[in-house]
Amino acid sequence: MTRKISICLLAVFYLFYLPAGEASPISSGRIDDGTFEVLRQIDSSVYTENPDKTKFFKTTITLEIERPNRQSKKILLDDDIYINDDIGISSIYDPIAKKLTLFVLSYSGASYAMNGFSYRVECQNNSFTKEVVFSKENDGWFSYFGGAESGNPVLWHFSFYNYWQMRSVRNANGTWSTYKEYKIEPSQAAEIFQKRRLFLIASEMDKQTPSESYEEREISVQNEKARVINEKAQKAAWAAELNGKNPQAMYLKAGKLMRNGEKSKATELYEAIIARHAGSVWAVKASDQLDQSQRESSVRESVDRAGRDAAMRAYEQCIHEERRCLGHTNQASCFRNCRSLLN
């Protein structure tokens, strides 16, 4: 159960091109009594590449917190991670716990596998803890924080492995759990990320707290898309079943469907056998099954109709007796629960 809490998503995901060797801002935002800025400094002489030759440079990440009338505080978060210069940092501030959470995506050095790290900063005493969100997964792309579960932040990101929108949730003990939410194309993930980024920028400008139902709406939309896709896939698979070339296999399949109560599909399959394999022994068998099914349906309908007629006669008799009793005694004991006879 997602617990709605007042989390200020005021840390906007900014992307900058970084000249090598210079400490430059990559993310910034507000905390209760000041502002923060995340700086990174890349060492262009030390880098590694993934299989498609994308470079990931050794990077130092520093957090700078500024408060009015106080000396700014710089906190070295990490000096041994490998980041591509087109990747930013996601951040979220919780004004209740006074904690700032940063997410950094770092190359693991193995194929396309990435490491996701969380830095939880105690803004009151400027201490922090580094946590592993995931390790050696092709996850973490187009990341942003949104919402909370049990008072802990929720990170949304994209996995290039089989194209999934992922949800990572921080547990009370500091570990993280990652879940597959729905299938999605990279272009869709990028669009959601961009909408979220613009949404946060607008909220920052208006000094409003963004709605935490954004992700829920996205999940609803994507689930509906997934439902339609699955429905199309099922129809395609069923069309292939109907066009099967082996009438015996089709006949056996229809019998199984009939036994499982899927009469409409079984009927379609029997009809397909008759249409596609006319004159065969299996077409004759299928025709017999349809005739038997129709007879059974007719019998059931007759039984049901007879049952309904009997129930209606019992109901009418009950009403008649109730009225006759009331006409003589006008007592509550005359009441009959006649309607129950129709159920």
DSSP 18-77: --TT-EEEEEEEEETTEEEEEEEEEEEEEEEE-TT--EEEEEEEEEEEE-TTS--EEEEE
Looking up tokens 């090598």 gives 20
Pick the range with the lowest mean pLDDT from 31-35, 108-112, 195-199, 244-248.
195-199
Q: At what angle do helices 263-276 and 247-259 cross, to 10 degrees?
A: 160
| Minimum mean pLDDT range among 53-57, 166-170, 221-225 | 221-225
| Collapsed DSSP state (helix, strand, coil) of residue 302 | helix
* pLDDT at residue 17 tops 80: no
pLDDT at 134 over 90: yes
Write the CB contacts of 238 (distance below 8 Å, at least 6 apart in sequence).
Answer: 265
Mean pLDDT of 26-55: 85
Looking at the chain, the whole-number percentage of residues with pLDDT higher than 90 is 13
Given a contact cutoff of 8 angstroms between Cβ atoms, the answer to whether 40 and 62 are in contact is yes
Write out pLDDT tens, residues 289-298.
887 877 777 6
What pLDDT is attached to residue 210? 38
pTM (2 d.p.): 0.54
Could you give the CA distance from residue 243 to residue 266 in angstroms, rounded to a whole number?
A: 14
Q: CA-CA distance, 327 to 158, in Å (whole number)?
A: 76
Q: Binning pLDDT at 50, 70 and 90, where does residue 117 land?
A: very high
Q: Which residue has the higher pLDDT, 52 or 330?
A: 52
HSE-CB for 243 with a 13 A CA cutoff: 6
Q: How far apart are CA 61 and CA 44, in angstroms?
A: 15
If you ran DSSP here, which 8-state letter would residue 211 be given? Answer: P
Distance (Å, whole) CA 89 – CA 107: 14
Q: How far apart are CA 275 and CA 197, in angstroms?
A: 57
More confident residue, 178 or 311: 178
* Alpha-carbon distance values, 204 to 115, 120, 207 (Å): 29, 22, 5
173-224 per-position pLDDT tens digit: 889 999 988 888 888 888 888 777 665 554 444 333 333 444 455 555 555 6
pLDDT band at 19 (very low <50, low <70, confident <90, very high): very low
Closest CA to 120 of 143, 97, 136, 141: 97
Residue 287 has pLDDT above 50, yes or no: yes
**Contact in structure between 165 and 184 (CB atoms under 8 Å):** yes
For residues 148, 150, 151 and 155, what is the CA-based torsion angle, rounded to 10 degrees? -30
**Range ranked top by mean pLDDT from 22-26, 167-171, 265-269, 275-279:** 167-171
